[in-house]
Amino acid sequence: MLMGEYAYSIDAKGRLNFPAKFREEMGERFVVTRWLDGCLVAFPLEEFAQVAEAFAQKGMAKSRDIQRFLFSAAEEVVPDKQGRILLPGVLRRHAGLEKEVTVIGNRNHAEIWDTAAWQAYNQRLETDSAALAATMEELEL
């Protein structure tokens, strides 16, 4: 299971050191693409295949917009010997990634955030704990 929060910097070539604790679970190759809330998502190949299959089960027409959003920008990445992955410009622009980056574990995937955006997002969550509690109740947790 992927969990935790790690701070990194993107270098001038667009490379990001991906957390060592995540690399083993992600595998030798994994997929990075655009995600909701203005961040990126990294899925192990098997998980990304399951996402694709879930869309196939729902029907192409019904899910075409989200498929275009996810798959058109998807990039299969391979960490180098230092554990860095190259994030293409289209992905960096989507998430506003310039220098300071936070990588978080979120159960079966990792999210890659601009650090300032992650901090602002967390602040919103912390100030609206009633909404979080309502969602937990709705999900029967």
Residue 59 has pLDDT above 80, yes or no: no
Question: pTM to 2 decimals?
Answer: 0.92
Measured distance CA(60)–CA(39) in Å, rounded: 25
What is the mean pLDDT of the segment spanning 44-62? 89
Residue 55 has pLDDT above 90, yes or no: no
CA-wise closest residue to 75 among 63, 60, 57, 87: 87
Measured distance CA(88)–CA(31) in Å, rounded: 12
Q: b/e map of 40-73 (b: 16 or more CB within 10 Å)?
A: bbbbbeebbeebeeebeeeeeeeeeeebeebeeb
Confidence of residue 10 (pLDDT cuts 50, 70, 90): very high
| Per-residue pLDDT, 62 | 80
| Per-residue pLDDT, 61 | 81
Q: Are 4 and 23 spatial neighbours (Cβ–Cβ below 8 Å)? A: no
Q: Are 42 and 95 spatial neighbours (Cβ–Cβ below 8 Å)? A: no
Average pLDDT across the chain, whole number: 94
